[in-house]
Chains A and B, each alone.
Chain A
């Protein structure tokens, strides 16, 4: 391929001039064609010539430059020009490019970037500028801002890579002055580093049976999933107000004209139907939290333990590593680290998903979870959200599940408050109740006028591990 043609395809003149140039450089395209190409200079922010040779060198033909190789193979072999641009994903996400036979990187530099199309699943323009509105300015795109300013400011390129968290976990990155995302892509992922809390790339690769060289590419695969990207869209998107269109109101008006004479309820409706209030369809925090929680799960849980504050329950160290067990932290805004849980236990935290979710929202998410999976055993351990779900929907939940409650004090929970709010309403549906102080449980039962015969399912707290409890529960008899 002609050198000038390659330069025209790959050079980003402004970037090239700033990165390599001097006042006497002249035309960057000509400079690259005549000199820069031979010196191995990168022609734009997405091309890493050294990385390209390391990554694709074995597949390259003899005697051609990395730039020529890329121009000849970008569309057909989907070779990436550097770690920040995903050629295959870009072509798949924006099929108009492949259909037009355009070099994907050239398209990105000249059209995709100004349109804020994403260069790879690791970037998310909509999310970035919604999260960091101060970064938004005409002509600016997320990768450019992130690479030039954002990473240094601790901003994340997308919800899939947490720059601040990564820096805390792996302090070598700051010591070496590296961009955290590049560190992860070039070194960290191969070492099994995590890009964000709660995401283990090796586990993800195993779960999806991904054949990944050096373990690299799991995050990219994760972030490329349409549901993940949609979640980021939803986080970023302020839902527009909905209006009923004139054609819709006209339909209703036509029917009212036809039957309103015999329908007093219709005759009372105002003439300007377009001005009636419209129910908002915007997804609220509880809906978004449910969505995040569901999409984070990879197996159907058969036992669900709802804990108010996970790190507040040392007894959970006795939980076995059961792949069908899910532990969910439900209350408060402090996020636990799961220090009492064995490493193989699947656990999630509503405060981690959204620390601002109110109590009603948390109860709604918990209820959706229980109804979606219909587990065979549910334990609420110092959990307001769990207690509320039992109290409101116990008759329903116990059709498929045995319900258990542990009434136990802890540094971050007040058992008296839990009991006052949930004891009486949930008790009719609960198989077994556990308490450190059975006498207190009986006193409370006295206060509520609970007959002696209804107290047969009170147990001391340490009995929760027994076969008759949560861990050994079988489905209820139908």
Chain B
């Protein structure tokens, strides 16, 4: 029985994928040392030879090639390949802290409610950016308010949840030509609409690389909006029944 499937999404990261793979393997080793069964899948979507060459140097990684040419849809493909009770994602040029899998798993199994787990903060770094921290709010905090999801995204994409969550709420395709972007923001809205709460795992960090040609920057440049979610149409006139006066 596999406890956790760690999915690395790759496109054409080339040598940058090396550090990401190593960070994933370190996190997997720490989890295995604590007794967890962890599998690693690399989803290579419309990838290039340089990236495949990096993957070839890591025999413990199952490589699955796809041609969906979309980050969200490639994550969905990864979920279909996954065997683990839990799934967690990493994008091909980012890094996890070494305790991510173990701590996220611990938080998830202790939780009484279905939840999506995020790191406490992400460290943004890159050649042309000043490094800074991006904290993640807890969905129960005012800063993580669900209504505000209509205006800003609270959580980055490297999340951790039961595989069934990703099966039930798949990622949507982005279409920057028509200004539909931010697949992770849409997914955060859809999972919220599905009744899941987004929580943070204490003492965890991810390292998010900001590149001039990153998807986020291309999405901003295209003046895209979040791919529409049903959250706000479902919750119009919102009143939690159990707390109605």
Q: Which A residues contact B (CB, under 8 angstroms)?
A: 89, 92, 121, 207-208, 217, 220-221, 224-227, 230, 233-234, 237, 239, 242, 244-245, 247-252, 254-256, 258-259, 262-263, 265-266, 269-270, 273, 276-279, 281-283, 286-287, 290-291, 294-295, 297-300, 364-365, 367-368, 371-374, 392-393, 395-396, 399-400
A345→B120 CA distance, assembly (Å)? 45
* Contact between chains at B147 and A255 (CB < 8 Å): no
Partner of A283, one of B19, B100, B142, B204: B142
Partner of B225, one of A217, A221, A367: A367
Give B88 Cβ to nearest chain A Cβ, in Å: 15
* Contact between chains at B228 and A251 (CB < 8 Å): no
* Contact between chains at A286 and B151 (CB < 8 Å): yes
Partner of A251, one of B152, B203, B236, B238: B203
**Residues of chain B lying within 8 A (CB to CB) of residue A367:** 225
Partner of B143, one of A258, A282, A396: A282
Give A127 Cβ to nearest chain B Cβ, in Å: 13
Within 8 A of A (CB), among B200-239: 202-205, 207, 209, 223-226, 228-229, 231-233, 236-239
A365→B147 CA distance, assembly (Å)? 12
Give A75 Cβ to nearest chain B Cβ, in Å: 18
**Among B178, B204, B237: residue with most chain A CB under 10 A:** B237
Give A222 Cβ to nearest chain B Cβ, in Å: 8
**Residues of chain A lying within 8 A (CB to CB) of residue B95:** 255, 259, 266
**Residues of chain A lying within 8 A (CB to CB) of residue B114:** none
Partner of B237, one of A226, A230, A265, A299: A299
- In the complex, which residue of chain B has the Cβ closest to the Cβ of A250? B203
> Taking A207-B237, A226-B240 as contacts, is the C-beta distance between A396 and B225 under 8 angstroms?
yes
* Contact between chains at B148 and A290 (CB < 8 Å): yes
**Among B121, B178, B202: residue with most chain A CB under 10 A:** B121
* Contact between chains at A371 and B225 (CB < 8 Å): yes
Give A463 Cβ to nearest chain B Cβ, in Å: 29
- In the complex, which residue of chain A has the Cβ closest to the Cβ of B30? A254
Whether B170 sits at the interface, judged by CB under 8 Å, is no
**Residues of chain B lying within 8 A (CB to CB) of residue A281:** 135, 137, 143
* Contact between chains at B125 and A396 (CB < 8 Å): no
**Residues of chain B lying within 8 A (CB to CB) of residue A286:** 151
**Residues of chain B lying within 8 A (CB to CB) of residue A242:** 135
A176→B165 CA distance, assembly (Å)? 61
Whether B145 sits at the interface, judged by CB under 8 Å, is yes
Whether B166 sits at the interface, judged by CB under 8 Å, is no
Partner of A220, one of B100, B243, B245: B245
Chain B 145-189 near chain A by CB (<8 Å), digits 1 or 0: 101101110000000000000000000000001111000000000
Whether B197 sits at the interface, judged by CB under 8 Å, is no
* Contact between chains at B179 and A393 (CB < 8 Å): yes
Partner of B147, one of A208, A295, A374: A295
Q: Could you list 12 examples of A-B contacts with CB < 8 Å? A: A89-B245, A245-B202, A251-B100, A256-B207, A262-B22, A290-B150, A300-B233, A365-B151, A372-B228, A393-B179, A395-B177, A399-B180
**Residues of chain A lying within 8 A (CB to CB) of residue B145:** 230, 234, 283, 291
Whether B23 sits at the interface, judged by CB under 8 Å, is yes
* Contact between chains at B135 and A297 (CB < 8 Å): no
**Residues of chain B lying within 8 A (CB to CB) of residue A220:** 245
A350→B98 CA distance, assembly (Å)? 47
- In the complex, which residue of chain A has the Cβ closest to the Cβ of B146? A227
Partner of A368, one of B150, B202, B233, B239: B150
Give A209 Cβ to nearest chain B Cβ, in Å: 11
**Residues of chain A lying within 8 A (CB to CB) of residue B240:** 225-227
**Residues of chain B lying within 8 A (CB to CB) of residue A251:** 97-100, 203-205
Give B27 Cβ to nearest chain A Cβ, in Å: 9
* Contact between chains at B98 and A225 (CB < 8 Å): no
Within 8 A of A (CB), among B67-109: 95-100
Give A299 Cβ to nearest chain B Cβ, in Å: 6
**Residues of chain A lying within 8 A (CB to CB) of residue B177:** 395
A287→B233 CA distance, assembly (Å)? 18
5 extra A-B contacts, CB within 8 A, seeds A259-B23, A266-B125: A234-B142, A252-B205, A276-B123, A279-B132, A372-B228
**Residues of chain A lying within 8 A (CB to CB) of residue B97:** 251-252, 254-255
* Contact between chains at B133 and A279 (CB < 8 Å): yes
Shortest Cβ-Cβ A-B pairs, 7 listed? A251-B97, A247-B203, A224-B245, A396-B179, A372-B232, A281-B143, A251-B205
Whether B111 sits at the interface, judged by CB under 8 Å, is no
Whether B37 sits at the interface, judged by CB under 8 Å, is no
* Contact between chains at B135 and A371 (CB < 8 Å): no
A224→B186 CA distance, assembly (Å)? 30
**Residues of chain B lying within 8 A (CB to CB) of residue A299:** 236-237
A258→B233 CA distance, assembly (Å)? 46
A25→B150 CA distance, assembly (Å)? 60
> Taking A207-B237, A265-B125, A396-B179 as contacts, is the C-beta distance between A252 and B207 under 8 angstroms?
yes
**Residues of chain B lying within 8 A (CB to CB) of residue A373:** 232-233
* Contact between chains at A276 and B233 (CB < 8 Å): no
A297→B207 CA distance, assembly (Å)? 39
Partner of B228, one of A239, A252, A374: A374
Whether B60 sits at the interface, judged by CB under 8 Å, is no
A423→B122 CA distance, assembly (Å)? 41
**Residues of chain A lying within 8 A (CB to CB) of residue B125:** 265-266, 269
A282→B152 CA distance, assembly (Å)? 12
A113→B220 CA distance, assembly (Å)? 49
Partner of A225, one of B151, B207, B239: B239
Give A225 Cβ to nearest chain B Cβ, in Å: 6
**Residues of chain B lying within 8 A (CB to CB) of residue A227:** 147, 238-240
**Residues of chain B lying within 8 A (CB to CB) of residue A121:** 245
**Residues of chain B lying within 8 A (CB to CB) of residue A283:** 142-143, 145, 148
A392→B225 CA distance, assembly (Å)? 10
A92→B225 CA distance, assembly (Å)? 40
* Contact between chains at A265 and B152 (CB < 8 Å): no
**Residues of chain B lying within 8 A (CB to CB) of residue A92:** 243
* Contact between chains at B120 and A248 (CB < 8 Å): yes
**Residues of chain B lying within 8 A (CB to CB) of residue A290:** 147-148, 150-151
A281→B22 CA distance, assembly (Å)? 31
A263→B226 CA distance, assembly (Å)? 32
A193→B125 CA distance, assembly (Å)? 57
* Contact between chains at B19 and A263 (CB < 8 Å): yes
A145→B231 CA distance, assembly (Å)? 40
